[in-house]
Amino acid sequence: MSTHTDIVVIGGGAAGMMAAIKALQEGCDVTVLEKNPFCGKKINITGKGRCNITNTRPWQEFSAHIHPNSQFFRSAFYGFSNQDTIELINAIGVPTVETQGKRIFPESMSARDVSRALQSYMEDLGAALLCDADVIAVKRDGDSLVTTFCRTGGGLPEAVSSEAVIVATGGLSYPTTGSTGAGYDIARSFGHTITERFPSLTALKPRRYDLDLQGIELENVGLVLYVDKSPVQVEEGDLSFTDNGIEGSIGYRVSRKAVWALSHGQKVELELDLKPALNLEKLEARISREIAAIGSSRSTIGATKLRGLLRTFMPQALVKPFADSHPGLGADNLAAALKSWIFKIDSYTGYERCVVTAGGVSQKEIIAKTMCSKLDPGLYFAGEVLDLDGDTGGYNLQIAFSTGALAGRSAAQRILNSRLVSEEG
Ligand SMILES: Cc1cc2nc3c(=O)[nH]c(=O)nc-3n(C[C@H](O)[C@H](O)[C@H](O)COP(=O)(O)OP(=O)(O)OC[C@H]3O[C@@H](n4cnc5c(N)ncnc54)[C@H](O)[C@@H]3O)c2cc1C
């Protein structure tokens, strides 16, 4: 391996591979250091192994799914948009399909097709890819940055110097994929601030979680998040009860604010509305009709018939846990119970199984138009290591692709421009 190159990319995930691809296309030499034996280990588990590559919503809608400040992401998105992602992924041999919610997947529904195609394309463009290389430090040495790494299996630390380093080490979620937070230490060593980090898009665990709920999936239900008794977020969509707690698209959507609140000692409750399309009045009328249809009345309906009635409003598996958690349930309070099933949330699943890390390298110290550090002109950041995260629906991979593309292109252009200037001088 050459001990000097134009650009070192640390991390061969979605952001790192895209950064390398764009820098190589500009004409720079690029070395990618990845601590796993291959690139894109996390890509392989995205979208339950199917990889929700991006989302086709236009910026006005897309930006509502980006946190904590979508304006920081605007230049990156316009520089390499969701449409650019689709075009590139298609061009490197992975046809894509759009599914419900404007989500894009590979036609094969195989995440591995995406990671393999990106790695092959990056290598075809001439990337020097060094796997099993765990970066331990980056230091400035005059005009160069020196990146030190250890090979898996031992040996003395090795070093490579470069004019720019792109840190694309990911966040803290699913550490088994290689994302263990090394990029934060590198950022701190250059004086960067790391904003408070917390798991997002994660399971919320109710107090006294009823095991009978596990495995139940609900479609088109409503969910209100209460923090210290105030409603702070309202969602409608799909929800699932898993062994970890409440998940599914709307469970995940409220998890960002819920986890933040829990970790700051606030009370968190979720109110599940099993019939969001009907207001209380219409639901009462519907209940009356259903009771009449089974030849009963509100005052005479017994426990057995009530359970049968519940079956018309929810999946069979939900009937027992619903009835168990509503003692004293009768025809008169059924509508209110269906519209407002309260879950007190005590805890959440941590980094070991959350989808994304919220918080990270502070946006304030990064130039949004280039992804370059304001503290060192050779240092760039891309992907989940940044204080930038999105909702479920393909937003996080697009963050990685857009910020990676911008960092790669900006680093390369800065190097090539400075060479031009010194040649002309
Ligand atoms: C279960 C799951 C499902 C998901 N599904 C989706 C989805 O369908 N759609 C979507 O948009 N997002 C999804 N996400 C989120 C998305 O995968 C991430 O936000 C995105 O992959 C982040 O990309 P990244 O390149 O910044 O980081 P990563 O993908 O984490 O890549 C970082 C790379 O850096 C390497 N690295 C770390 N430290 C070092 C070091 N010191 N030296 C060398 N290499 C290092 C790691 O090994 C890793 O390969 C999912 C996440 C999870 C966990």
At residue 235, the pLDDT reads: 97
Tokens of 90: 């298609």
At residue 401, the pLDDT reads: 99
Architecture of domain 4-198+355-424: 3-Layer(bba) Sandwich (3.50)
Q: Give DSSP secondary structure letters for 112-174.
A: HHHHHHHHHHHHHTT-EEE-SEEEEEEEEETTEEEEEEEETT----EEEEEEEEEE----SSS
φ, ψ dihedrals at 160, nearest 5°? -135, 135
Segment holding 61, helix H or strand E: helix 59-62
Distance between Cα 378 and ligand 1 center (Å): 23
Q: Distance between CA atoms of 389 and 387, rounded to whole angstroms?
A: 7
Low-confidence ranges of the chain (pLDDT < 70): 1-2
CA distances (Å), origin 387, targets 107, 171, 184, 238 = 31, 9, 11, 27
Distance between Cα 194 and ligand 1 center (Å): 18
At residue 423, the pLDDT reads: 84
Helix 71-79 vs helix 395-424: crossing angle, to nearest 10: 70
173 Cα nearest atom in ligand 1: 53
* Cβ–Cβ under 8 Å, residues 371 and 220: no
Nearest alpha-carbon partner for 108 in 65, 150, 62, 53: 53
Residue nearest to atom 22 of ligand 1 (CA): 384
Residue nearest to atom 41 of ligand 1 (CA): 135
At residue 424, the pLDDT reads: 82
Segment holding 105, helix H or strand E: strand 103-106
The sheet carrying 96-99 orders its strands as 54-55, 103-106, 96-99
Residues having CB closer than 6 A to ligand 1 are 10-16, 33-36, 41-43, 45-47, 51-52, 133-135, 168-170, 173-174, 177-179, 182, 355-356, 383-384, 394-397, 400
Q: Distance between CA atoms of 240 and 27, rounded to whole angstroms?
A: 48
At residue 2, the pLDDT reads: 61
Q: Which residues, other chains included, contact 130 with Cβ-Cβ below 8 Å and sequence gap of 6+?
A: 1, 31, 32, 33, 34, 149
CA-based torsion, 401, 407, 411, 417: positive or negative: positive
| Torsion on CA atoms 48, 54, 56, 57, rounded to nearest 10 | 90
Distance between Cα 174 and ligand 1 center (Å): 8
Q: What is the DSSP letter of 35?
A: S
At residue 302, the pLDDT reads: 83
Nearest alpha-carbon partner for 402 in 114, 72, 163: 72
Whole-number average pLDDT of the chain? 96
396 Cα nearest atom in ligand 1: 11
Specify the residue for token string 């390369």.
412
At residue 1, the pLDDT reads: 60
Most distant CA pair in the chain: distance in Å?
Answer: 96
Q: Distance between CA atoms of 331 and 302, rounded to whole angstroms?
A: 9
Distance between Cα 266 and ligand 1 center (Å): 30
Tokens of 356: 């994304």
Distance between Cα 38 and ligand 1 center (Å): 13
Strand-strand pairing, 379-381 and 158-167: parallel
Best of 10, 148, 169, 200 for a ligand 1 pocket test (most atoms within 8 Å of beta carbon): 169
Q: Residue 272 in 3-state DSSP?
A: strand
Distance between Cα 15 and ligand 1 center (Å): 8
Distance between Cα 12 and ligand 1 center (Å): 9
At residue 304, the pLDDT reads: 87
Best of 46, 50, 119, 242 for a ligand 1 pocket test (most atoms within 8 Å of beta carbon): 46
For 106-130, letters b (16+ CB in 10 Å) and e give beeebbebbbbbbbebbbeeebbbb
Q: Please state the separation of Cα 251 from the chain's center in Å.
A: 14
48 Cα nearest atom in ligand 1: 3
Rg (CA), the chain: 25
Domain range annotation of the chain: 4-198+355-424, 204-348
Best of 65, 174, 179, 406 for a ligand 1 pocket test (most atoms within 8 Å of beta carbon): 179
Q: Distance between CA atoms of 18 and 410, rounded to whole angstroms?
A: 13
Tokens of 387: 């204080």
- Where are any strands of DSSP class E within 258-403? 268-273, 341-348, 356-358, 366-367, 372-373, 379-381, 389-390
